[in-house]
Structure 1
Amino acid sequence: MKAVNLVEIKKELKQLSTTELEALCLRLARFKKENKELLTYLLFESHDENGYAESVKTFIDEEFETINTDSFYYIRKSVRKILRNIKKFIRYSQKKETEVELLLYFCKKLKEFKPSIKRSTQLQNMYQRQLLLAKKGIEKLHEDLRYDFNLMIEEMGLE
């Protein structure tokens, strides 16, 4: 089965009643964890973006605590998993401020991580890429926010 484009879906959704839309949303939520997470964000967390960012930071802290430090292979694997989840949370929000804030927090946690990432080229490269993405995101923000985030980068010594 081939999926139709968004324009056609939007036209069809406009023709549905409120109860039919509700049933469709609940059915979507039933099938994929990501759909349920997105609906949770839209319904409960989108009105408080700072609270959402703080809850994601708490998640990041918990995940960094559970990393297996036996070898750099396990560390890389766990860090990639954390980053994949962060990217998913950023996609839910679609706000540049949240994206920059979460990427900078990830970089901070990665830099503070023990054993040091300096002994792993892949982890250093991952750190540099995310820092570069955060800096690109900062350029797209309002100048006051730019200044605040650049101060944050300097304070954390992420450069």
Structure 2
Amino acid sequence: MGITTYSLQTIRKELQQLDSSQISALCLRLAKYKKENKELLSYLLFEADNEPHYIESVKQEMEQLFKELPSRSFQAAKSLRKVLRLMNKHVKFMASKAAEIELLVFYGQQYLQYIDRHTSYKPVRQLLIKPLEKAGKLVNSLHEDLQYDHLPAFEQLVQDADTRMSWINKHDFL
């Protein structure tokens, strides 16, 4: 026999009936059992009010992982996936398209700086192409004012990728 999973609307109604000490106890119990829940709760309590600082700390962590990239293509692909998982986890916490674009552009810049431009290993190449495609879609889905803020950085990244990597065509992304 499985546990019944209720909808978010039902859970929201039930939570509204509880007092703050009961809600606090439930939150602590959730945080106790899964690391990601604890990280999300930590972000919401301590970091959400200063998103630019949080983005900078994520960038520093990503940069450190890029500096530690192995030289062999197979291990580099595994490490790049690790960087993307870390970035996606933090993006999920922030729930902001603008922050996601900023981190994707930073990822692309770091990729261009640390990855061998002559690599023929397709998974390593795809680990630049897919984030570029995702960033392009996100930029296009933003409001015009936000597009104006993020489009120059994205276009510069695509231009740099086109000049540095022979296997990138900027017309595929712009």
Please report the TM-score for the alignment, with normalisation by the length of structure 1.
Answer: 0.92
Rounded to whole Å, the distance in 2 between the matches of 1:122 and 1:66 is: 19
Give the aligned residue type for 1:59.
E
Q: Which amino acid in structure 2 is aligned with residue 121 of structure 1?
A: K
The whole-number CA distance in structure 2 between the counterparts of 1:106 and 1:114 is: 11
8 Å Cα contact 2:135-2:154 kept in structure 1 = no
Q: Equivalents in 1 of 2:15, 2:115: separation in Å?
A: 51
Asked if 1:65 is matched to 2:67, the reply is yes
In 2, the alpha carbon distance for the partners of 1:118 and 1:111 equals: 12
Letter in 2 for 1:115: D
Shift of 1:73: 0.7
Give the equivalent residue in structure 2 for 1:115: 116
- For the 8 Å contact 1:100–1:134, the answer to whether it is kept is yes
1:10-159 equivalent positions in 2, closer than 5 A: 10-69=12-71, 71-116=72-117, 118-156=119-157, 157-158=160-161, 159=170
Could you tell me which amino acid in structure 1 is paired with residue 105 of structure 2?
L
**1:111–1:117 Cα contact (<8 Å) kept:** no
| CA distance, structure 2, for counterparts of residue 64 and residue 117 of structure 1 | 18
Partner of 2:165: none
CA apart distance, 1:85: 1.2
Aligned-pair distance for 1:34?
A: 0.3
Q: Which runs of 4+ in 1 moved over 3 A?
A: none
Counterpart AA for 1:78? S
Q: Output the CA distance in 2 between the equivalents of 1:2 and 1:115.
A: 50
Deviations 1:16-59 (A, max 9, x none): 11000111111111111100110111111111111111111011
- SS of 2:52 mapped into structure 1: helix
RMSD: 1.5
| Equivalent residues of 1:103, 1:131 under 8 A apart | yes
Q: Is the 8 A contact 1:117 1:123 kept in 2?
A: no
Superposition deviation, residue 117 in structure 1: 6.3
Paired positions, count: 158
Change in Cα spacing, 1:108 to 1:100, as seen in structure 2 (3 Å) is same
| Identity %, equivalent residues | 36
Q: Which amino acid aligns with 2:99?
A: T
